[in-house]
């Protein structure tokens, strides 16, 4: 679609207008790190962050989500809870957008999940190409520096202004409603191409996956019985932190709660993690993935083989580096694992 | 597509009423159910439903009745956890939530004109029964029918009246065994594989359906292979933590397969090389 530019000053006004009129979720400082959250004041917004603690999947698949209310009695009632409160998600980096695009496919395939879809449709996504990489980022190696779909607006910092690519009608309307944007010139296009071409280099030199992304799935399929899984998982706490921060982990558990009246209650779903010991357990105590190394391998193979198969071969690891940075025994870093197993 | 579904949410059940409930063993309870909206469940043999006791939770339970029986469906529930424990407290007249039917089915169409060898261990008889009864109700469509059923002990046998009836049928060969007999037991004693020495299936015309506890599969599959039955004619139904039933929650994954959607019924040709299958 069309391309515009916003001076940094005009972007500030745009952000202020947004925050005033729309439920806006953006990136804020949290101690020395960054986190997505509700923005009440445009001054809170951080645009030059490296990575957020958790991925923005929180806003599409909340950590805890009510699926339906129920009322027991002669005529049992079940009332599905579909949340579709409109919001603007501002500043989601390319790699997280890539993950979001993947989740759109996953939640929609076969049985379309109405809860996810309603939230996704309620969102206006203003993506942002990164201006910084964390010390763990390796999205430069995972084809995740730039993404060409899934956004309503896509911002690229080209110095004194943002290049704004308009992806959808919804994005165009938001921009014309809250900002005075100018048409992008040829010079702007050139400046943006240059910034884009250099994006992968923002990731540190030692954060490179040495093999071609196209060959990773085949190499990982061949690594099933490699000794690396047992070796690394010896140190695994089965804490599930890697699951918690991953933008493409979407497994969940379902629980009922009942009120004190013993007549009304809710069914909720909560994030779950395949690294946690009881994940594959069934009633009667049979555990189909009892061995820690099997659980550890399962997650890595999901990202590189199993989920990738559902995504026409696109890897479900986008290189955000969150799992690497959060893993206490430092065993789950995909860069190290892929560099050891893929040639 | 599943018939017992709420159109607003994949995860919201529809209500069914228990028409009949009775204990089959000390741990297995039988339920005859009817959807309150009057619809047929519309399942195929081998599929499962998610059963809700609202306020407690939901559990995947295989459907035990054949779709040839209209107007109701049957489940056999082992008291093994929170939800199944709560189900065991329910009697006729109570309501439960139902979602489904989900999953793949036994190849009841593809096996027409063939010999069927059922191998059911313990509670595996419950899902196998959906196909056994289908075959018995369409007896002319199938050739030789053999049923091997093994229980841990005589008191853990269930559907004993039906087993008795089947044992009297001239056109069905039912062989039973128990791991540990008692004074009342005059039949075969030993694990289910001991029954294989008593049968002689034609490997060219036999489809072998295997349902039982996880430990049973590799031993029974080895016996079926010894009889030269090919992998695409060995059909298994696998148990996993099929929490959501719609291929999303991840709990039932067997490597790349989602047991709730790609299974629970597989051919050995499909899962024989899948490391996590058995």
Please, what is the Cα angle at A99 between A98 and A104, to 5 degrees? 95
CB contact under 8 A, A284 and B78: yes
Mutation pick from B54, B60, B246, B264 vs chain A, by most beta carbons of A within 10 Å, is: B54
Contact A263, A73 (CB under 8 A): yes
In whole angstroms, what is the distance from residue B251 CA to residue B177 CA?
34
Contacts of residue B167, defined as CB under 8 A and 6 or more positions apart, other chains included, come to: B174
Q: How many domains does chain B have?
A: 2
Residue A269 contacts B where some CB pair is shorter than 8 Å: yes
List pLDDT tens digits, range A119-159.
999 999 999 999 999 999 999 999 999 999 999 999 999 99
Are B205 and B121 in the same domain? yes
Q: Please tell me the predicted confidence (pLDDT) of residue A39.
A: 98
In a domain, B243, yes or no: no
Give the model's pLDDT for residue B154: 97
Report how far residue A171's alpha carbon sits from residue A156's, in angstroms, rounded to the nearest whole number. 15
With cut-offs at 50, 70 and 90, classify the pLDDT of residue A214.
confident
CA atoms B185, B189, B192, B196: torsion sign:
negative
- Residue A278, phi then psi, degrees to nearest 5: -85, 5
Q: What is the pLDDT along chain B (278 residues), one digit of tens a residue?
A: 678 999 999 999 999 999 999 999 999 999 999 999 999 999 999 999 999 999 999 999 999 999 999 999 999 999 999 999 999 999 999 999 999 999 999 999 999 999 999 999 999 999 999 999 999 999 999 999 999 999 999 999 999 999 999 999 999 999 999 999 999 999 999 999 999 999 999 999 999 999 999 999 999 999 999 999 999 999 999 999 999 999 999 999 999 999 999 999 999 999 999 999 99
Contact flag A283-B253 (C-beta cutoff 8 Å): no
Q: State which of B70, B102, B134 marks the end of a domain.
A: B102
Closest approach of chain B CAs to the CA of A36, in angstroms? 24
Q: Which two three-digit tokens encode residue B8?
A: 């607003």
pLDDT in tens, A90-113: 999 999 999 999 999 999 998 999
Q: What is the pLDDT of residue A1?
A: 62
Cβ–Cβ < 8 Å for A60, A103: yes
Q: What residues of chain B lie within 8 A of the CB of A303, using their CB? A: none
Same domain, B155 and B190: yes
CATH code of the domain containing B214: 3.40.50.80
Residues B120 and B23 in one domain: no
Q: Any CB–CB contact under 8 A between A277 and chain B?
A: no
Q: Which residue, B79, B102, B125, sits at the end of a domain?
A: B102
Q: Are B18 and B89 in contact, with CB atoms under 8 Å apart?
A: no
Residues 6+ apart with CB under 8 A from B210: B119, B124, B216, B217, B220, B221, B224, B234, B235, B236, B237
pLDDT in the model for residue B36: 95
Residues B119 and B231 reside in one and the same domain:
yes
Confidence class for position A305, pLDDT limits 50, 70, 90: very high
Instruction: Report, in angstroms and rounded to the nearest whole number, the Rg of chain B calculated over CA atoms.
Output: 18
**Partner-chain contact A252 B239, CB within 8 Å:** no
Q: Is the distance from CB of B137 to CB of B65 less than 8 angstroms?
A: no
Residue A73 pLDDT > 90: no
Q: Is A280 on the interface with B (CB under 8 A)?
A: yes
DSSP chain B: --SB--SS-TT--EEEEEEEEEESSSSEEEEEEEETT-------TT-EEEEEETTTEEEEEEB-S-TTS-S-EEEEEE--SHHHHHHHT--TT-EEEEEEEES----TTTTTTSEEEEEEEGGGHHHHHHHHHHHHHTGGG-S-EEEEEEESSGGG--SHHHHHHHHT-TTEEEEEEESS--TT--SEES-GGGGGGG----TTTEEEEEES-TTHHHHHHHHHHHTT--GGGEEEE-----SSSSS-S-TTEETTEEHHHH-SEEEHHHHTT-TT--
Domain encompassing residue B225: 115-237
Report residue A334's pLDDT band, with 50, 70 and 90 as the boundaries.
very high
> CA nearest B263: which of B48, B3, B55?
B48
Looking at the fold, whether B90 and B125 belong to one and the same domain comes out as no
Give the CATH number, domain containing residue B93. Answer: 2.40.30.10
- Give the ipTM: 0.94
Residue A223, min C-alpha distance to chain B (Å): 13
- Chain B partners within 8 Å of A252 (Cβ): 244, 248-250
Cβ neighbours of residue A313 under 8 Å, at least 6 residues apart? A217
Cα–Cα distance list, B236 to A259, B231, B259 (Å): 42, 10, 12
Exposed, middle or buried by CB within 10 Å (0-12, 13-18, 19+), for B225? middle
Residue B242 lies in a domain: no
Residues B38 and B91 in one domain: yes
Nearest one of A208, A229, A205 to A332, comparing CA atoms:
A229
Chain A environment of B12 (Cβ under 8 Å): 67-68, 78, 80, 267
CB B108 within 8 A of CB B45: yes
The SS3 of residue A160 is coil
Residue A74 in tokens: 């002669």
Centre a 10 Å sphere on the Cβ of residue A171 and count the other Cβ atoms it contains. 22
Q: Is the pLDDT of residue A254 over 80?
A: yes
Pick from B245, B172, B41, B103: nearest CA to A254: B245
Measure the CA–CA gap between A334 and A297, rounded to whole angstroms.
Answer: 11
The closest of B57, B108, B62 to B85, measured between CA atoms, is B57
> Is B25 a domain residue?
yes
Residue B252 lies in a domain: no
């Amino acid at each position: 679609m069309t391309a515009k530019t916003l001076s940094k000053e005009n972007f500030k006004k745009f952000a202020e207008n947004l925050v005033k009129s729309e439920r806006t979720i953006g990136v804020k400082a949290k101690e020395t790190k960054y986190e997505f959250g509700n923005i009440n004041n445009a001054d809170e917004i951080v645009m030059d962050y490296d990575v957020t603690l958790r991925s923005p999947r929180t806003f599409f698949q909340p950590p805890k989500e009510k699926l339906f209310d129920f009322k027991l009695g002669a005529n049992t009632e079940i009332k599905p809870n579909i949340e579709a409160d409109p919001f603007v998600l501002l500043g989601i980096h390319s790699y997280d957008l890539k993950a979001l695009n993947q989740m759109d496919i996953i939640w929609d395939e076969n049985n379309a999940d109405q809860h996810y879809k309603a939230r996704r449709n309620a969102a206006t996504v203003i993506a942002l190409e990164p201006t910084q990489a964390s010390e763990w980022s390796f999205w430069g190696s995972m084809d995740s520096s730039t993404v060409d779909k899934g956004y309503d607006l896509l911002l690229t910092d080209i110095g004194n202004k943002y290049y704004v690519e308009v992806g959808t009608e919804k994005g165009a309307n938001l921009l014309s409603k809250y900002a005075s944007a100018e048409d992008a010139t040829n010079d702007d296009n050139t400046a943006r191409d240059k910034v884009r071409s250099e994006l992968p280099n923002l990731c540190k030199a030692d954060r490179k996956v040495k093999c071609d992304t196209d060959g990773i799935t085949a190499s990982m399929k061949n690594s099933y019985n490699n000794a690396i899984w047992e070796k690394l998982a010896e140190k695994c706490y089965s804490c599930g932190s890697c699951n918690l921060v991953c933008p493409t982990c979407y497994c969940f558990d379902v629980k009922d709660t009942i009120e004190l009246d013993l007549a009304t209650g809710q069914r909720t779903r909560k994030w779950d993690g395949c690294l946690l010991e009881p994940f594959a357990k069934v009633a009667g105590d049979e555990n189909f993935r009892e061995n820690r190394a099997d659980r550890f391998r399962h997650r890595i193979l999901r990202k590189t083989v199993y989920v990738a198969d559902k995504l026409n071969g696109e890897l479900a690891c986008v290189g955000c580096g969150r799992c690497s940075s959060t893993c206490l025994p430092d065993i789950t870093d995909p860069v190290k694992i892929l560099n050891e197993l893929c040639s | 597509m599943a018939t017992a579904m709420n159109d607003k949410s994949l995860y919201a059940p529809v209500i069914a009423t228990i028409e009949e409930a009775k204990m089959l063993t000390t741990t297995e309870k039988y339920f005859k159910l009817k959807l309150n909206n009057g619809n047929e469940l519309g399942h195929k043999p081998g599929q499962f439903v998610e059963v809700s006791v609202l306020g407690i939770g939901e559990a995947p339970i295989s459907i035990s009745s054949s779709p040839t029986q209209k107007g109701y469906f049957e489940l056999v529930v082992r008291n093994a956890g929170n939800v199944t424990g709560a189900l065991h407290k329910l009697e006729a007249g109570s309501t439960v939530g139902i979602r489904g039917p989900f999953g793949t089915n036994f190849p009841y169409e593809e096996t027409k004109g063939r010999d069927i060898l059922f191998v059911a261990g313990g509670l595996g008889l419950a899902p196998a029964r959906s196909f056994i009864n289908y075959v018995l109700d369409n007896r002319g469509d199938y050739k030789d029918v053999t049923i091997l059923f093994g229980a841990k002990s005589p008191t853990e046998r269930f559907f004993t009246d039906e087993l008795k009836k089947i044992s009297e049928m001239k056109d069905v060969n039912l062989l039973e065994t128990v791991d540990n007999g008692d004074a009342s037991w005059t039949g075969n004693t030993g694990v289910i594989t001991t029954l294989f020495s008593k049968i002689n299936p034609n490997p060219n015309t036999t489809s072998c359906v295997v349902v039982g506890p996880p430990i049973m599969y590799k031993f029974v599959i080895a016996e079926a292979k010894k009889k030269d039955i090919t992998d695409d004619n060995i059909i298994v139904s696998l148990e996993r933590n099929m929490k959501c039933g719609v291929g999303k929650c991840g709990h039932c994954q067997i490597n790349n397969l989602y047991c709730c959607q790609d299974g629970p019924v597989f051919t050995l040709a499909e899962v024989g090389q899948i490391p996590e299958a058995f």
